[in-house]
Structure 1
Amino acid sequence: MRVTPIAAVMFASALPAMLPMIATFPILPPLGLLLFVAWRRLRSDLWPAWIGLPLGLWDDLFSGQPVGSAMALWTIIVLFFEAVEYRMLFQDQWIDWLLSAVAIALAIFGGVFLLSLTGVSVSYAVVLPQFGWSVLAYPLVARLVAMLDRWRLRK
């Protein structure tokens, strides 16, 4: 039961590397990140604060980002959710979508910033379509995660 969320995030992180697609700029949403955020928003009790380190390393190996960038950013996302959820009085789907969009923006634009620290010149405008598709795809991914969670709990 506890392996399903981790396996789903790991599979989603590796999936774009398996697709026969070549792109000159990022357009596909980071599926591993979306599933990670969706699982964290749905079942916060399953994710300890350190889970961003191993899952981020796995994502770094398949995404082409410098090793350690997703590790740091995903851990910051978990800590962000911990801090925000502690102060929230209520929660609905719009707040969930807004918080997830902030986390996605943190990961995507933070990845560009960390990449610029390595000496690679990347414009933030290049990742705007990826950010837009990611925010629009999040409700579908959250529904998929809810279906996976129902399946996981039935077993």
Structure 2
Amino acid sequence: MKNPVTAIRLPLRPGREYESRFDREPSTLKMLAIPISSVIVASMVTTLPFLTQQPILPPFGFLMLLAWRLMRPGLLPVWSGVPFGLVDDLFSGQPFGCAGLLWSIAMLTIEIIDSRAIWRDHLQDWLIAALLIITVLLGGLWITGMAHAAAHPLVLLPQIVLSILLYPLVVRICARLDSWRLAT
């Protein structure tokens, strides 16, 4: 037997399905929250239980910050390296302020490069990121060496190589998040 009462589905907002998507403003919260939360979540990856005798896990928070800064130059301010670095210090186990200092120096370096360069392509961004990754990881080892006995810099070689090779993947993730961020 058929049910004689049929449900009529009414749209939640009448006429909404026929509205144009053009000329709508994206959400300000979404525009700001996605880059900020992606860098913080990427910094939290270091807390995963991944045990090795040598440092091999790339600094995903720093890679995400570089990807956002090199892909969207005006999105994050220059001073954003300090708070993101301090959040990363909380999760990475580095001395507090180490990443705050090094990430802010990296952001200033990118700002200087942006002010002098006419244009950049993906390979130049990868080279800039590679040099900054090497500098930040070696700088972190040097700052840690002031407080404790530091290892030889060659210990960081696998982490440096893996970080440089994973940078294009992080840029791809960042581009996907950016397209979702800009979608209305």
Same fold (TM over 0.5): yes
> TM-score range, shorter-chain basis?
over 0.9
More relative contact order, 1 or 2 (CA 8 Å, 6+ apart): 1
Counterpart in the other structure of 1:3 = 33
Partner SS state of residue 46, structure 1: coil
Deviations 1:10-44 (A, max 9, x none): 00101220x22212211011111110110110112
**Higher helix content, 1 or 2:** 1
2:6 corresponds to:
none
Q: After superposition, what is the alpha-carbon deviation per residue over 1:89-146, rounded to whole angstroms, capped at 9, x for unaligned?
A: 2211111110011111111111011111113222101111000000000011101100
TM alignment of 1:7-26, pairs within 5 A: 7-17=37-47, 19-26=48-55
For structure 1, list consecutive stretches of 5 or more residues without a partner in the other structure.
none
Percent identity at matched positions?
Answer: 44
RMSD: 0.9
Residue in structure 2 matching 1:140, options 163, 169, 177? 169
Aligned counterpart, 2:75: 46
The corresponding residue for 2:143 is 114
Aligned pairs, how many? 154
Structure 2 residue aligned with 1:81: 110
Gaps of 5+ in 2: 1-30
Question: So what's the TM-score if we normalise by structure 2?
Answer: 0.81
Q: Distance in 1 between matches of 2:84 and 2:172?
A: 21
Partner of 1:149: 178
TM value normalised by structure 1: 0.96
Structure 1 or 2, whichever has the larger Rg, is 2
- Residues 1:70 and 2:81 are matched in the alignment: no
2:160 corresponds to which residue?
Answer: 131
